[in-house]
């Protein structure tokens, strides 16, 4: 029996890869899975704009997602291909690897709220599809050993934990989403140890301020209460202002991914999962940052509507980390929540806010 059964059934792929673009050369080939997502889009934009990953020029990027990735407006010298493909469908991932990407970013996921309400979908996408990817990389063989950067999450940690969580903390997730992330972390370490690939899992803080529409992530309100007022709209706060959580901006998330892609493998060592740095802030601190950026009028748009269920859930979330290993490896986040708000205003609002 070849591998994990879900991956071994052959089936026509959902797209046709144009392989010419991905022919071998001196420059890097990059595969971004989940390229149409919020972080994926920003990562692709940055890579195209840099034209390089670290010191290595990028030859081409293959952007894969279940929906079409948005067009890259300024690809420079980077050849860009897109593939609309459901990785949970057998056979698809083999096609994505046809060009033997040197670096793979795996950002595709069903978010926390949805993985909790749709048990099977969460496991299918967050676990099975990712395992198919790992097995497909392994199946290539012949010394192929790409860097694979996996976007994990602080959701791998569940209570009880210390007020400040260190790098020794056990992964005892309190959600199906966190469980799926923790399992992939284990697989990634084992596959790396066995020499099948060169994996790094980065545990992202809650990304704040998320641009665009609210999604099904349970952490969404932390972004809503900043993004909506900055745009002149009301937002609901379902928890107490004392609730504390761990944040980094989308810009930091992209920086983490790029840094993880270029780190020396030996520096990482056998533990391939790294808790990313971030900012520990209470909702009250968030609100004061909003006030400093946009004044009382913006803050007045936040309506406090306590929701016991959400409050209980947030109570079970990590509040702060001592991300020492990541820090030693050169990962950097914002230094306070003011900076997170500033990054949002710069990157999403062109520096312009409705209240000031």
| Binding span for a second copy by CB under 8 A among 2-10, 250-258, 259-267, 341-349 | 2-10
Residues 6+ apart with CB under 8 A from 328: none
| Binding span for a second copy by CB under 8 A among 22-30, 77-85, 95-103, 178-186 | 178-186
Interface with a second copy, residue 194, by CB under 8 A: yes
Instruction: Please work out the total of residues on this chain that contact a second copy, with binding judged by CB under 8 A.
Output: 34
Whose tokens are 């306070």? That residue is 336
State both tokens at 96. Answer: 């994505």
Whose tokens are 């840099």? That residue is 50
Residues 8-47 that bind a second copy (CB under 8 A): 9
Interface with a second copy, residue 173, by CB under 8 A: yes
| Selected binder of a second copy within 146, 158, 205, 229 (CB under 8 A) | 158
| Selected binder of a second copy within 49, 50, 84, 172 (CB under 8 A) | 172
| Binding span for a second copy by CB under 8 A among 56-64, 167-175, 210-218, 289-297 | 167-175
Select 129 or 254, whichever has its Cβ closest to a second copy.
129
Residue in 123, 144, 177, 191 annotated catalytic? 177
Interface with a second copy, residue 88, by CB under 8 A: yes
Interface with a second copy, residue 234, by CB under 8 A: no
Select 4 or 342, whichever has its Cβ closest to a second copy.
4
| Binding span for a second copy by CB under 8 A among 40-48, 95-103, 188-196, 236-244 | 188-196
Closest CA to 254 of 335, 331, 166, 167: 331
Judged on CB neighbours under 10 Å (0-12, 13-18, 19+), 80 is buried
Residues 246-285 that bind a second copy (CB under 8 A): 270-271
Measuring CA to CA, how many Å separate 6 from each of 10, 90, 120, 137, 293? 10, 6, 14, 15, 50
Q: Give the long-range contacts of residues 142-146, CB within 8 A, separation 24 or more.
A: 144/100, 145/195, 145/196, 145/197, 145/198, 146/100, 146/101, 146/102, 146/103, 146/104, 146/197, 146/198
For residue 201, how far is the Cα from the chain centroid?
A: 10
Residue pair 344/226 in contact (Cβ under 8 Å)? The answer is: yes
Is beta strand 198-204 parallel, antiparallel or unpaired with respect to 302-304?
unpaired
Interface with a second copy, residue 87, by CB under 8 A: no
Whose tokens are 């986040």? That residue is 333
| Selected binder of a second copy within 130, 171, 206, 224 (CB under 8 A) | 171
| Cα gap 192→89, rounded to integer Å | 24
> Length of the chain in residues, anyone?
356
Interface with a second copy, residue 2, by CB under 8 A: yes
Interface with a second copy, residue 1, by CB under 8 A: yes
Interface with a second copy, residue 312, by CB under 8 A: no
Residues 91-130 that bind a second copy (CB under 8 A): 119-120, 123-124, 128
Closest CA to 331 of 238, 241, 261: 261
State both tokens at 6. Answer: 């879900």
Interface with a second copy, residue 139, by CB under 8 A: no
For residue 173, how far is the Cα from the chain centroid?
A: 17
Interface with a second copy, residue 182, by CB under 8 A: yes
DSSP H helical ranges for 300-336: 308-315, 324-328
State both tokens at 250. Answer: 């989308």
Select 176 or 249, whichever has its Cβ closest to a second copy.
176
177 part of the active site: yes
Interface with a second copy, residue 212, by CB under 8 A: no
Select 171 or 249, whichever has its Cβ closest to a second copy.
171
Instruction: Check residue 329 and report its DSSP letter.
Output: T
Select 190 or 305, whichever has its Cβ closest to a second copy.
190
Interface with a second copy, residue 240, by CB under 8 A: no
**Residues assigned a catalytic role:** 177
Which chain residues interact with a second copy by CB under 8 A? 1-6, 9, 88, 90, 119-120, 123-124, 128, 158, 168-174, 176, 179, 182-183, 186-187, 189-190, 193-194, 270-271
């Amino acid at each position: 029996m070849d591998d994990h059964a879900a991956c071994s059934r052959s089936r026509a792929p959902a797209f046709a890869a144009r392989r010419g673009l991905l022919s071998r050369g001196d420059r890097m080939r990059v595969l971004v899975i989940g390229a149409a997502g919020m972080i994926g889009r920003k990562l692709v934009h940055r890579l195209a704009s840099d034209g390089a990953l670290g010191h290595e020029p990028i030859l081409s990027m293959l952007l894969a997602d279940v929906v079409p990735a948005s067009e890259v407006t300024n690809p420079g010298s980077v050849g860009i291909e897109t593939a609309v493909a459901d990785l949970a469908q057998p056979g698809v991932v083999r096609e994505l690897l046809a060009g033997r990407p040197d670096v793979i970013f795996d950002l595709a996921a069903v978010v926390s709220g949805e993985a909790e309400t749709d048990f099977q979908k969460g496991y299918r996408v967050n676990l099975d599809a990712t395992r198919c990817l790992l097995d497909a990389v392994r199946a290539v063989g012949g010394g192929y050993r790409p860097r694979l950067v996996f976007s994990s999450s602080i959701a791998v940690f569940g209570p009880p934990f210390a007020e400040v969580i260190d790098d020794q903390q056990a992964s005892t997730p309190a959600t199906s989403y966190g469980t799926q992330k923790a399992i992939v972390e284990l697989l990634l370490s084992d596959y790396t140890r066995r020499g099948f690939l060169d994996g790094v899992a980065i545990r992202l803080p809650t990304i704040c301020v998320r641009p665009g529409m609210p999604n099904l992530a349970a952490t969404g309100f932390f972004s809503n209460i900043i993004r909506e007022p900055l745009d002149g709209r009301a937002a609901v706060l379902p928890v107490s202002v004392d609730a504390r959580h761990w944040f980094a901006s989308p810009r930091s998330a992209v920086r983490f991914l790029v840094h993880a892609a270029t780190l020396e493998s030996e520096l990482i060592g056998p533990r391939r999962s790294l808790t990313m740095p971030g900012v520990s802030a209470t909702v009250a601190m968030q609100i004061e940052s909003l006030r400093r950026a946009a004044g009382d009028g913006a803050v007045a748009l936040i309506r406090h509507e306590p929701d016991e269920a959400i409050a209980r859930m947030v109570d079970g979330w990590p509040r702060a980390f001592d991300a020492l290993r990541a820090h030693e490896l050169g990962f950097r986040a914002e230094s306070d929540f003011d900076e997170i708000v500033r990054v949002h205003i710069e990157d999403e609002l062109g520096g312009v806010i409705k209240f000031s």
